Chain A
Amino acid sequence: MSSCESSATYTAKDFKSDVKPVWCPGCGDYAVLSSITKAFADLGLKPHETSVVSGIGCSSRIPAYTNTYGIHSIHGRALAVGQGLKLARPDLTVLVAGGDGDGFSIGGNHFLHACRRNVDLTYIVMDNRVYGMTKGQPSPTTESDWDASAMAPPGGTGMTPFHPLAIALASGANFIARGFSGDPNGTAQVIAEAIRHPGFSFVAIMSPCITFREEQREWKNTMRNVNIEPTTDPAQAARRLMTDDGYNCGILYRGNRPAYGKEKKATNAVSDLDREFTL
């Protein structure tokens, strides 16, 4: 809690900054921004006690568009930055956001360890199955036969797409959900639940890149809300995720492992430390 308590309640608009997004008109990320600010408002958070941390990519531009504390850091490192912030400041709401390239390619190792470590923050990946900012290269979640890119070989990469949700489960994540930017209200609800969840929560939000993957406009017809009771059984969650076609939205798994991090409590004065060195 901040020392400066305010009784004012904030609306989604209060969480938006007046910086104009650089996103292409029609980019899915606009709606994700709205879902985030709506979730913040719905939870009754205060802008100055909330933070958004990102890496680099189109989607990672998001902190500047929120009126919260934020860090637009470097490519792939958002989770490391966010975990440091939360561990130092358990009182802050920390949301980490970025793209599939940022999170699963260059940031892959941090993703695995953030799932394991279980620091109390929410990680949102705006997945468009492409590198938007560097103009359309395949990302870890791109279909293996997608070859409409200057950098993809004819016939596609031939690599199996990364399954972020299944990998999150295998790595120990306790809250796993999928959202769709075409359903901002449903997504806002999922984000709010994720923030409420103690420990690391992971929300993959399918967010079309209409510039480099025009065909993703079709997602509005394929994404479906599963509306099922989230399972607390990892084995069942594994079956669900491994047979998942990538279009099911909702909270898919919710475990109950305790969050990482002890209460910060000084037991000694700094001068007490000298004793160890005195002869």
Chain B
Amino acid sequence: MTTSSGFGSVSIAMCGSGGAGVMTAANMFLDAAAEAGYYALFGRSSGPQIRGGEAAALVRLGVDPITSVDDTFDIMLAIDWQGVQRFAAEVPLSKNSLVICDPSAGDVPEVYVKTGAKIVHLHMKDLAKEIPGGRPNMIALGAVAELIGIPVGPLTEVLGKSLKKKRADAYEASVAGVKAGAAAAATLDGAKRLAPAKAKDVKRWTVTGNYGAGLGAIRGGVRFCAAYPITPATEVLEYLSGALPKVGGVFVQAEDELASINMCLGASYGGEASITATAGPGLALMTEGLGLAVASETPVVVVDVQRVGPSTGIATKCEQSDLNIAVYGLHGDAPHLVVAANSVGDCIFTTQWGVYLAESLQTACLVMSDQALGQSRAIIDVPADVAFVGKRLAAVAPAEGEVFKRYANTANGISPMPVPGQPGCQYTSDGLEHTETGTPSSQAADHTMQLDKRQRKLDQFDYGNHWATIEGEGDIAVITWGACTGAAREAIARAKADGVNAKLISLRLISPTRPKHLAEALKGAKKILVVEQSHQGQFTRYLRGEYDLPVKPESLSRSGPLPMRPGEIHARLLSMGK
């Protein structure tokens, strides 16, 4: 096996102009790989056009779970070259890479020739022509499968599942195409075969982070969603619009993000756990509503699928630069929850947990995801069905002659919350500062008491060991969050093979802070590396501002939109380990 990382995986980019069918082929390829027992991560990239234009399917397969892209691609297969040079930065190649292309599509663009990759020809168009109804993308699919060692069996099985019933002729043509592609590839030189997959005893799942966030929300008890479409969060909404009605919930397409968050607050006040999903520009519009959630102690969850900012930025690509607005974006002293998913599969757990926290603590919870997690499809082990279902502290009607105190100043800061319809507990939920009964007040004492209460309930809560994902041991601690976690994990594994040991700490609970827990996790660390995808180093600044770190951290921070690659972190770890 000659993969660039040597970590039991193969990375393949399938490119072509829109309509060439690379996404279809790649999806089938992924299904077949899963069928054969492999894990995978599949990100898609397209040009700036909405439809048409060029498209690239970026797939990484492996014998172990995959949570990061690799440094370079082993195989780049281009059905044609139209606009494909746009992907040059996203599809890094090396001397060890193999470029497979159709000679009839013309010359290989200079950017790819320059990499020194080996270029081989495959007559995809001609081979397809020989088959009635044959298509070049199926030839490509068969070829790639052959080169990395996925047998034809799982491939035809996948084709059967998607085509046999609907269109028998298309099925026959696809199977013939796949076989022809595999036969042609068998004569090509430069196979990158994967090790045989480990025996799989349980069925695996395939999920995108965005669908996973939707599922996690419903698992956590969400039954209401109001939202406005925005890339790259839209699939969370697509999922919920279909799934919520099935479980007795409601989905509304709102007129804008201001309506989304405020509809959610209304629904939540009514007793339904509520969620909305958005990206940076939408989150900016929601901040006033989030402040109302904090002040009125109304649970609400917002999934922020980060993209490149500021302003409209780059809508289809990843960055981790919404951290500042997520943590500090609300006006006033507005303590709230910020949690972050750290893998495609973890979008399920973290969103469910976010709902549970918001409901338990009666406040706003931002669930941070990003384009790379949200829009990538992964093959994962079946996620645990955890028991976190949001439950509010229920109110009881006060005794005759006593007033109901909606905002009672309790020891743990959580006040009982009634559901409209409950006799005797009528109250006005208010964004104005208020007394314990909810009556507006401009008194200093009431303000301080309510502020203390809102902070106290967050600080005193038991977040268990979910506040971070911690792996390994070593003199160096790598602190990271979100999509960079996978790359950091792999970098640490590579460094270990080089004799440099590091510990991974990926924060899931970004806010409130957990000073004691982080101090404990950092015990013995002589050096700290903070890894993130932000031009300003927002996460590094956050950690330095909010925590007493035992040593001054080094920062590996750069902007998007290119994904953080393990090699970048690995190189830094080696120099730190010297």
Chain A residues engaging chain B, CB cutoff 8 angstroms: 2-4, 6, 19, 46-49, 51, 53, 61, 63-64, 67-74, 76-77, 80-89, 91-92, 109-110, 112-113, 261-262, 264-274, 276-279
On whether the beta carbons of A278 and B382 are closer than 8 Å, the reply is yes
Q: Does B258 contact A (CB under 8 A)?
A: yes
If A74-B292, A277-B211, A279-B206 touch, whether A85 touches B424 (CB-CB below 8 Å) is no
On whether the beta carbons of B427 and A87 are closer than 8 Å, the reply is no
Complex Cα spacing A63 to B426, Å? 11
Which B residues between 528 and 550 are near A, CB-CB below 8 angstroms?
Answer: none
Q: Does B379 contact A (CB under 8 A)?
A: yes
Distance (whole angstroms) from the CB of B482 to the closest CB of chain A: 22
On whether the beta carbons of B289 and A84 are closer than 8 Å, the reply is no
On whether the beta carbons of B258 and A278 are closer than 8 Å, the reply is no
Complex Cα spacing A112 to B255, Å? 9
On whether the beta carbons of A67 and B270 are closer than 8 Å, the reply is no
Q: Which one, A53, A69, A91, A267, contacts B426 given CB within 8 A?
A: A69
The residues of B that contact A262 with a CB separation of less than 8 Å are 245
Q: Does B207 contact A (CB under 8 A)?
A: yes
On whether the beta carbons of B255 and A113 are closer than 8 Å, the reply is yes
On whether the beta carbons of A84 and B224 are closer than 8 Å, the reply is yes
Chain B residues engaging chain A, CB cutoff 8 angstroms: 31, 34-35, 203-207, 211, 215, 218-219, 223-224, 226, 243, 245-250, 252, 254-256, 258-260, 262-272, 274, 288-289, 291-292, 296, 379, 382, 385, 420-432, 438-440
If A2-B422, A277-B215 touch, whether A63 touches B266 (CB-CB below 8 Å) is no
Distance (whole angstroms) from the CB of B353 to the closest CB of chain A: 16
The CB with the most chain A CB atoms within 10 A, among B226, B248, B289, B423, is that of B423
On whether the beta carbons of B266 and A264 are closer than 8 Å, the reply is no
On whether the beta carbons of B205 and A73 are closer than 8 Å, the reply is no
On whether the beta carbons of A88 and B266 are closer than 8 Å, the reply is yes
Distance (whole angstroms) from the CB of A167 to the closest CB of chain B: 15
Complex Cα spacing A267 to B247, Å? 6
On whether the beta carbons of A109 and B428 are closer than 8 Å, the reply is no
On whether the beta carbons of B224 and A279 are closer than 8 Å, the reply is no
On whether the beta carbons of B426 and A74 are closer than 8 Å, the reply is no
What are 18 A-B contacts with C-beta separation under 8 Å?
A: A2-B423, A64-B428, A67-B426, A68-B426, A72-B428, A80-B226, A80-B258, A84-B262, A84-B263, A87-B224, A88-B223, A88-B267, A88-B274, A113-B254, A266-B248, A268-B246, A270-B247, A279-B206
On whether the beta carbons of B255 and A48 are closer than 8 Å, the reply is no
By secondary structure, the A interface counts as mixed
Closest to A70 in B: B428
On whether the beta carbons of B274 and A63 are closer than 8 Å, the reply is no
Distance (whole angstroms) from the CB of A176 to the closest CB of chain B: 20
The CB with the most chain A CB atoms within 10 A, among B215, B379, B385, B420, is that of B420
Complex Cα spacing A74 to B296, Å? 11
Distance (whole angstroms) from the CB of B371 to the closest CB of chain A: 20
The residues of B that contact A2 with a CB separation of less than 8 Å are 421-423
Distance (whole angstroms) from the CB of B29 to the closest CB of chain A: 14
The residues of B that contact A271 with a CB separation of less than 8 Å are 385
Q: Which one, B218, B248, B274, B379, contacts A84 given CB within 8 A?
A: B274
The residues of B that contact A48 with a CB separation of less than 8 Å are 420-426
Q: Which one, A49, A84, A91, contacts B266 given CB within 8 A?
A: A84
On whether the beta carbons of A264 and B288 are closer than 8 Å, the reply is no
The residues of B that contact A261 with a CB separation of less than 8 Å are 250
On whether the beta carbons of A72 and B424 are closer than 8 Å, the reply is no
Closest to B226 in A: A84
The CB with the most chain A CB atoms within 10 A, among B258, B270, B427, B429, is that of B270
Q: Which one, A4, A49, A266, contacts B246 given CB within 8 A?
A: A266
Complex Cα spacing A88 to B205, Å? 32
On whether the beta carbons of A80 and B250 are closer than 8 Å, the reply is no
On whether the beta carbons of B224 and A72 are closer than 8 Å, the reply is no
The residues of A that contact B255 with a CB separation of less than 8 Å are 109-110, 112-113
The residues of B that contact A76 with a CB separation of less than 8 Å are 258
On whether the beta carbons of B31 and A273 are closer than 8 Å, the reply is no
On whether the beta carbons of A88 and B272 are closer than 8 Å, the reply is yes
Closest to B212 in A: A277
On whether the beta carbons of B31 and A279 are closer than 8 Å, the reply is yes
Nearest 9 A-B pairs (CB), nearest first? A84-B266, A84-B263, A266-B248, A88-B267, A85-B266, A80-B262, A89-B270, A81-B266, A69-B420
If A67-B426, A266-B246, A267-B246 touch, whether A80 touches B266 (CB-CB below 8 Å) is yes
On whether the beta carbons of B246 and A279 are closer than 8 Å, the reply is no
If A67-B426, A273-B218 touch, whether A264 touches B432 (CB-CB below 8 Å) is no
The residues of B that contact A19 with a CB separation of less than 8 Å are 439
Beyond contacts A88-B274, A262-B245, A279-B34: 15 other A-B pairs, Cβ-Cβ < 8 A, are: A6-B423, A68-B426, A69-B426, A72-B428, A72-B429, A73-B262, A73-B296, A80-B266, A81-B266, A83-B259, A83-B263, A84-B224, A84-B268, A85-B266, A266-B247
